[in-house]
Structure 1
């Protein structure tokens, strides 16, 4: 008979280290910091990085996850504030233009 020998090789893949989102946190802190969420995200990102350095991957994962949610909140709120600001500026400029043209004729005489 034919004998078959099967050999299995075990490959150990180390788990991916948790993300600390430090760059995103810095951007949120510098450019979009509504209600100090960017600052809080930056603090949690630094804590996550510190936990990674000492080897506490579960703590790093927890702090990184919190930093991620704070960054999401800061990004969404910052974007909403920018959109509202643009809409407000456009609306006010249209109203100012209408008021100017309504009260002043093109020959600079007052209509009253």
Structure 2
């Protein structure tokens, strides 16, 4: 008596998984820069490039999505650095200005 399972043809299934790395569109970072650090509208422009990158990714254009994503990343970095520098500068000017007001009042005789 032979085993009936050994007579059945063996089949295999092959699943191809693409090895492409996912494209990051930086949309959350761009939205943060648009709302909080939108100096010179760099955050808004970065947000626009992030949306374009997401659109290109949905269509299947990986190279176009990577191009827009790298531009959005560069604009986000510039917006973040510029925003932090300007915010720190304004804080320093405000603190030094408020320290100078009592000194100026004393110099002018209390007016």
The offset of 1:12, in angstroms, is 5.7
2:24 is matched with which residue: 19, 22, 25? Answer: 19
Q: CA RMSD in A?
A: 1.9
Number of corresponding residues: 96
4+ residue runs over 6 A deviation = none
| Corresponding position of 1:6 | none
1:60 is matched with which residue: 49, 58, 65? Answer: 65
Q: 1:64-75 alignment to 2 at 5 Å?
A: 64-75=69-80
1:78 aligned onto 2:80: no
Partner Cα separation in structure 2 for residue 60 and residue 13 of structure 1? 17
TM-score, normalised with respect to structure 2: 0.79
Gaps spanning 5+ residues in structure 1: where?
1-10, 105-109
1:9-43 CA deviation, whole Å, 9 max, x = no partner?
Answer: xx966222111000000000000111111110000
